[in-house]
Structure 1
Amino acid sequence: MVKRITELYQHLFILMLLWISVLSEETEEFCSVSASNEGGSCGEESKPAILPPRFIFYDVNPPEGFNLRRDVYMRMAVLARKLKKLGDWYLVLPPWGRIYHWQSADVGKQHQLPWSLFFDVPSLRKFAPVMDMNEYLSEHKSTEIDEVYVLQHYKDDWESGKWEEKYGIEPCNEKLPYSATPDGSYTGRFWGYNNFTAKQVRCLSFHGHVSQLKGLLKKTKARLVMVDHAEVALHDSFGDKLYWKARRSMRFAKHLVEVATDFRRNRLNSSDEADGVVRPTDWTKEKPRSGTLGGPYMCVHLRRKDFLWGRSKEVPSLESAAEQLRDMLLELYLDTLFVATDAPVEEFIQLQLLLSEFTVVRYEPSQEVRLDYKDGGLAIIEQIICSHSRHFVGTHESTFSFRIQEEREIMGFSPESTFNRLCGTAVKCEPPSKWRIVF
């Protein structure tokens, strides 16, 4: 009996020593990072220091449009969310500007615009640690980026005929918008700021999902890292639960929602209460829903301009568009059509004449609204109005239409009322893909 008790105490003592050893190893691993930065080492007198915050900046190919940039944000936000396990990383949101479709010359400057002008940034933070560039500059000042990685495609991406996740530092495929200075630093476009520089710029051939960048960031001791051409990195998983969480967090700025709500109430006899689209203020408390009614109007996104020559077979003439819209309005017993379009005034008037038996309206902002919210804000107002309609019809392969479909999916509209498109030269065409929500 005494022998058994002695053996039991020995086992307990050994387990206690092992536990102390594990704890000391964990403390050593954590402490060594800060200690090495200070030129010291961990010991009994050492206390784990609070590591300084680290920041990820990013940019995309300049010609990319507003709605594709929103998609790239989601990829980077998922990365930032997963990086929380590696330390105090923050994603700095690149200011908006230089968008092809923002062509108005009478709305003031349309560059270096903060995300808070278009989106509810506190809502974004409920998904990932993010901050506007102006917040960063106000709080942290440093404008010397330690490492810039310019993502590029491998030249032989598909030669092997199989999918392979990989990345590596390689010679640059194209001339970069960064130049070395005599002091060894780099200058470049850096979102239009002239006070940003970089210590190092390298090209990173990249093939695969955005979370691969975790491997890169695990190895670096840099505090300020920039990923240029972030559009090269793919979604970790398009359409999964995490994707939809990121998408739900992208609530529009309250001031834009208020403008759209006033327009719906005054011009379209529509309100959240009457239309069955009241949502909680906090997206994390939103529950699955279906059977949403929507306002007593139909919305069409009628893309013109570059789509007329870039996708000529998929974009109908005005006469054909009017004929298709008339059939839909009659079938739905609706007499009001809201039009979101980049068409010139003359084409919109022509469409009104072609559909003279219906009320055809578009959003016409005051000059004050135009100056305050710019072209990007006006586009969002139109998207909000379309997302609340009884029935939506989009333009084939337009990310503007796709974002509206996502909003409607979140609000619980039926697929039949959401995933529709105008047909081009063909009499009949396939409906758009139905990307259904995952909670």
Structure 2
Amino acid sequence: MAAGGFQRVVCLALFLIFVDLLAFVSGDYEVDQQIFQPGIQGTLKVAAAKPRRYLLYDVNPGEGFNLRRDVYMRMANLVKKLQDQESWVLVLPPWGRLYHWKSSMDKQQIKIPWSAFFDLESLNRHIPVIEFEDYIKETGSAEIDEMWYLQSYKDGFFKTGKWEEKVDERDCNDPPVFRQDESGHYRGWFWGYDEAYVLKFKCVSAQANAGLMVKPLTTNTTARSIMINRAEVLLHDAYGQTGYWDARRSMRFSKELRLVGNEFRSKYLNSTDKDDKTIMWEDWRTFKPAVGTAKGGPYLAVHLRRGDFARSHSKNVPSLQGAAKQIREIMKEQKLKKVYLATDASDQEVKEIKKMVTGLVRYKPTKEELIKYKDGGIAIIDQWICAHARYFIGTALSTFSFRIHEERSILGFEPKTTYNRLCADNQSVEECEQPSQWPVVY
């Protein structure tokens, strides 16, 4: 055989050995794959790969859209820790039936997938996530093995006089809202999916960071699917640190909603990412702008809460006249002629503000857009436009404003243009405490 032919045969043999090794490592070999060693013929016992486990969760029905986004981050980082021991995936709870979602033409607003609001590809760069519909397809049904219904301890947080983390199975403090049917299945509200049910239900008292759930989830149960209900009871493991920001940066809005916001900015606010220096890289993991690199569009953005929030937080929320006065002063100070207003104010209240503030612009969805994007999508468009303004001022104690603070920090805006809030009427400078600044930690 010629030298060249011999070399080709050797290369082919090495290639086939390499392919076999890859198949072995990836688990493609059967459990009893025959192997050969010099002088020995035997069978290698390879353990079958464990099927991945599913973590589902839900939140107290009264919690709003932006608080639920925060709970997602806690659950995402719990799964991040679970991934160190086993293969877990986070099942995203469908959106719907939120108290503040009243304006959409689609009054039912249930079974809304996360992909309607967020970029799932981006979420999956942090941890594995799937929609509930995909969970049903993967497992073959809407059956959930266990539900852990979180509650506080009856003796309170500080029985010992100091904070201590603990999680224990306990009797239910209150009658469970999930009831057994004639088959012994636990049924209740599962995001509008009447076919969904739980096989085993238990109440769990918890005062802990989310990470403390790793041990009970991996050692106290072999259930393949576990749902943590009232997940807002669990706290962040390290608020404001790297893990927190990794989860938050992965929560990019859907491309369609960003496009709607960008088109509005370009058409009505003379704002583009190129001019505003807010171009984002496709992968959030490599997008790390220095503080102050973002310039923002030539407009002021204001988030003004009204309705029930204004009544319950009257000591921190200005009147319409007080808000208009502050808006005019900031526009003059920042030399801006347009102001974008995000608000839940009534149409009549908006008319009053427009009389007092010139250059006021709002995004007003058509009936078709309300049906298509729903209240959650409209809120995201508002937040996206506010996040790109030259200067932003929000409402004290509002999670809606807080999410905009985060978005602007991720884009690279200066804190002084971001962490601002409207003061209540006759509130002194000392009393009108500005929001805490939380810089991105990479």
1:44 deviates by 6.5
Matched with 1:148 is 147
**Counterpart of 1:118?**
117
Amino acid at match of 2:386: C
Residue in 2 that maps onto 1:322: 324
1:405 is matched by which residue type in structure 2? Answer: H
Equivalent residue number for residue 349 of structure 2? 347
Q: Which position in structure 1 is the counterpart of 2:50? A: 51
- 1:368: how far off? 2.0
Structure 2 partner of 1:188? 188
| Cα pair distance change 1:159/1:227, threshold 3 Å | same
Correspondence list, 1:17-166, <5 A: 46-104=45-103, 106-107=105-106, 109-155=108-154, 156-166=156-166
Listed as ranges, the gaps of 5+ residues in structure 1 are 1-33, 35-42
CA distance in structure 2 between the partners assigned to 1:435 and 1:411 by the alignment:
13
Deviates most, 158-167 or 67-76: 158-167
Please state whether the residue corresponding to 1:257 is helix, strand or coil. Answer: helix
Name the SS for the 2:248 alignment partner. Answer: helix
> Are residues 1:436 and 2:439 paired?
yes
1:181 deviation in Å?
A: 2.2
User: CA shift at 1:389, angstroms?
Assistant: 0.1
Shift of 1:147: 1.1
SS in 2 for 1:262: helix
Partners of 1:159 and 1:364 in 2: how far apart?
Answer: 51
Q: How many Å apart are 1:235 and its aligned residue? A: 0.4
Distance in structure 1 (CA, Å) of the matches to 2:117 and 2:244: 20
Deviations 1:262-293 (A, max 9, x none): 00000000000000101101101112322211
- 1:80 deviates by 0.9
Deviation at 1:188, TM superposition (A): 1.5
Bigger shift: residues 424-433 or 147-156:
424-433
Q: Does 1:170 align with 2:157?
A: no
Report whether the alignment pairs 1:391 with 2:394. no
The one-letter amino acid paired with 2:390 is R
CA contact (8 A) 1:148 1:200 kept: yes
Alpha-carbon distance between aligned partners in 1 of 2:191 and 2:212, rounded to the nearest angstrom:
25
Alignment of 1:254-293 (within 5 A): 254-291=255-292, 292-293=294-295
Any idea what SS the aligned residue of 2:306 has? Answer: coil
8 Å CA contact 1:108–1:371 kept in 2: the answer is no
| Cα RMSD (Å) | 1.7
Contact 1:336 1:359 in 2 (8 A): yes
The partner residue of 1:302 within 277, 293, 304 is 304
Cα distance in 1, alignment partners of residues 249 and 44 from structure 2 = 47
3-state SS of the aligned residue for 1:298?
strand
SS at match of 1:423: coil
- Give the deviation of 1:134 after TM superposition: 1.8
Whichever residue aligns with residue 150 of structure 1, its letter is Y
Q: Deviations over 1:146-197 (max 9, x none)?
A: 1110011112211222110101011111222111223322111122211111
Kindly provide the CA deviation profile for residues 11-37 of structure 1, in whole angstroms up to 9, marking residues without a partner as x.
xxxxxxxxxxxxxxxxxxxxxxx9xxx
The AA in structure 2 aligned to 1:247 is R
* 2:378 counterpart SS class: helix
Match of 1:242 in 2: 243
1:207 matched to which residue of 2?
207
User: Residue 390 of structure 1: SS of its match in structure 2?
Assistant: strand
Contact preservation (8 Å) 2:301, 2:339: yes
Amino acid across the alignment from 1:315: V
- Which residue number in structure 1 is paired with residue 36 of structure 2? none
Pick which of 101-110 and 164-173 moved more. Answer: 101-110
Matched residue SS, 1:312: coil
Secondary structure at 2:238's aligned position in 1? coil
The answer to whether the 8 Å contact 1:340/1:362 transfers is: yes
Structure 2: how far apart are the matches of 1:239 and 1:308?
A: 28
Identity %: 47
Asked whether the equivalents of residues 149 and 203 of structure 2 are also in contact (C-alpha less than 8 Å), the reply is: yes
Specify the code of the residue in structure 2 equivalent to 1:127.
H
Deviation digits for residues 117-141 of structure 1 (CA, Å, limit 9, x no counterpart): 0000010000011111122223332
Structure 2 residue identity aligned to 1:86: Q
- The offset of 1:105, in angstroms, is 5.0
Assess if the C-alpha contact under 8 Å between 1:208 and 1:233 holds in 2: yes
Per-residue CA distance 1:367-417 (angstroms, 9 max, x = gap): 222111101000000000000000000000000000000000011111110
Kindly state the Cα deviation for residue 45 of structure 1 after the two structures are TM-superposed: 5.7
Question: Residues 400 and 105 from structure 1, CA distance in 2 versus in 1: closer, same or farther, beyond 3 angstroms?
Answer: closer
TM-score, normalized by length of structure 2?
0.87
- C-alpha distance in 2, partners of 1:268/1:213? 47
SS at match of 1:169: strand
Amino acid at match of 1:430: E
Unaligned runs of 5+ in 2: 1-30, 32-41
Residue 333 in structure 1 maps to residue 335 in structure 2:
yes
Using the alignment, how far apart are the partners of 1:202 and 1:367 within structure 2? 44
Q: State the partner residue of 1:31.
A: none
Question: How far off is 1:107 after superposition?
Answer: 2.9
1:282 maps to a residue whose letter is: D
2:125 is aligned with what amino acid?
K
Q: Tell me how far apart the structure 1 counterparts of residues 113 and 122 of structure 2 sit (CA, whole Å).
A: 15
Q: Distance in 2 between matches of 1:71 and 1:432?
A: 17
- One-letter identity of the residue aligned with 1:185: H
What amino acid does structure 1 have at the position aligned with 2:239?
Answer: F
CA distance in 2, matches of 1:57, 1:252: 21
The 8 Å contact of residues 104 and 374 in structure 2, kept in 1 or not, is answered as no
> Offset at 1:208?
1.1
Query: 2 CA distance for matches of 1:116 and 1:401?
Result: 23
Contact conserved, 2:104 with 2:375, CA < 8 A, in 1? no
How far apart, CA to CA, are the structure 2 residues paired with 1:406 and 1:100?
Answer: 24
- Matched AA of 1:399: T
Q: Tell me the distance in 2 between the aligned counterparts of 1:58 and 1:96.
A: 12
Counterpart in 1 of 2:39?
Answer: none
Deviation (angstroms), 1:83: 1.0
8 Å Cα contact 1:298/1:338 also seen in 2:
yes
